[in-house]
Amino acid sequence: MDTPINTRFFLGANAPSGFYSLYNEFVDLNLDKTLHIIKGGAGCGKSSFMKKIAEGLLEAGLDVEQIHCTADPDSLDAIYVPSLKVAYVDGTAPHVIEPIYPAVMEEYLNLGEFYDAKPLKEKKTALIALTNTYQALYQRASHCITAAGGVLEEVSALVTDDSVIETVKKRTRGIISREIGKEKNGKGKVRLRFLSALTPQGYVTHFDTAKTLATRVYHLDNTLGLAHFMLEDLVEAAQKAGLDTILCPAPMHPARYEHLFIPALGLAFLSSNKQVQYEGPSYRHIRLDAMVDPGRLKSQKTRLRFAKKVSALLLEEAVHILADAKRVHDEMEQLYNPHVDFDGVYDLAEAHLQELLA
């Protein structure tokens, strides 16, 4: 039996504009079979439920895509089983999901039914206080991330002009000619996923996914934010060639692209910047930052150094606050957990697993 493909991504980002969600793009409502939308509050076993199913499917040899939580990267927010076209997703805030085609495509799973509500009501005051504290901390972290995003945007603006972009695109055309070739049916599909996220653990990037999907990696220097101009042309060429891709936006600027996978070619384009450093083996290392005129870099040296220092301090503070929020959430779960029927949760997960395997 072939080793199953186990990939890991994020669907959300703690971005300068607030929480940025790709959850509504997780599945294709026209092609996939079933989306199970999981409801239930803190500590009711949503992640544990999905982990049990994912582990059982992988043991059975099925490929699984696992989506991790930005608030707790060790927890799962969703799983997708490509061969069965079935998915499970946490549909609670901040990524609330509701059915578009109820029963036809989406089905609710209410894990809140495993709460023992009576003793929890006795902890009402403590739980309300913790919930309010958690939300306030996230708001503080968001302010830091917003400020850092503004500063990072200035870094790119200081050095990017039409001549730099054209230099990047000229190099890209050579890669397209060599790796992708001519247009074919023009029906390649693009899936959007975050490979990186700003979390209570700092920046977490699932570079292990690259080892799973790619045999060759183009490593792109991206300190100045130039990778986007290469990746937007690469993904367009792949689409025209009929190749499916996984395109990864930048968490601090979701309108720009940071990484790209073309699984059918075993290719990955992974970028590195101050926050995210790819340190694995590379087939080619493209020094995009070197395409900026050295004189221009020198003239902006003081402003660039200041911007990088300030943004790094703001993001460091954001991570500290997110870690505080995670500790508060852990306290909430400790109050909830004794009053959750986890045997019931695991029995339900086992029932779903057996149905999938059947």
Q: What is the mean pLDDT of the chain?
A: 94
Q: What is the pLDDT of residue 84?
A: 96
Q: How confident is the model at residue 190 (pLDDT cuts 50, 70, 90)?
A: very high
Residue pair 259/268 in contact by the 8 Å Cβ criterion: yes
Is residue 1 scored above 70 in pLDDT?
no
Q: Which of 121, 119, 99 is nearest to 109 (CA)?
A: 99
pLDDT at 159: 83
- Beta-carbon contacts of residue 189 (< 8 Å; ≥ 6 apart): 239, 244, 245
Per-residue pLDDT reduced to its tens digit, 58-81: 999 999 999 999 999 999 999 999
- The mean pLDDT value for 172-185 works out to 91
Q: Which two tokens stand for residue 211?
A: 């080892």
Dihedral of CA atoms 132, 136, 141, 145 in degrees, nearest 10, equals: 120
The Cβ-side half-sphere exposure at 132, using a 13 Å CA radius, reads 6
pTM value > 0.85: yes
Strand-by-strand arrangement of the 86-90 sheet:
6-10, 64-68, 76-81, 86-90, 34-39, 106-110
Q: What would the pLDDT profile of 110-144 be if each residue is shown by its tens digit?
A: 999 999 999 999 999 999 999 999 999 999 999 99
